[in-house]
Amino acid sequence: EPAELMGLSPVDLAVEEDRPIVRSLLDTFRTGGEASGVRYRVRRKDGTVIWVELSGRPIDEIGGCVVSMRDVDQRQRTEEALAEANRQLELLAATDELTRLANRRTFNRRLEEAFAETSGSADFSLLLLDVDHFKAFNDRYGHPAGDRCLAMVSDTLAACVRKDDEIGARYGGEELALILPGIGPAEA
């Protein structure tokens, strides 16, 4: 209730981890600065934690300020859910469903990036693997067994990826690739 908020500082309402944010904002207001739309979390009377947005500005030369706080919990949670959905969508768009390796589009982009980064001045290795006699295997044991075979080969390839800039990819049907920036032929 409004009467219960009288005399409390925004710092008193903030969750412990976010109190430095609020203290910094109040210092900004006291020294003549303004802020708008800064988000942090507060704890309600019932103990639930919600997101709020704080804006404020100084109102006099002795450190007084006016502060406006509004509940943006639903918007914050919607934005977080949307960001997570976008991360998942990007992962799906960049990954081959069967092998869980990078897909051809991601391979092409990362290969161009690796070439641009090395620009002839550093080692760079590209390994291409073609699973021998895969069509005969598929014909004899069926596509589900062929899928399991490709998944096992892909898992082995993925285990060879050691650094963030390395990438294993499905190049085509039974063709796989490994991009190794900064790796010379002997190490590759």
| Packing angle of the helix pair 73-94, 104-118 (nearest 10 deg) | 90
Helix (H, G, I), strand (E, B) or coil at 57: strand
Structure tokens at 103: 């897909």
Q: How are the residues of the chain apportioned to helix, strand and coil, as percentages rounded to the nearest 5?
A: 45, 25, 30
Point out the catalytic residue in the list 90, 174, 175, 187: 174
Known catalytic residue: 17?
Answer: no
Q: How far apart are CA 187 and CA 122, in angstroms?
A: 14
Q: Token digits for 116?
A: 């641009």
Phi-psi region of 114 (alpha: psi -120 to 50; beta: other; left: phi over 0): alpha
Neighbours of 87 (CB within 10 A): 10
Contact 160, 153 (CB under 8 A): no
Residues assigned a catalytic role: 174
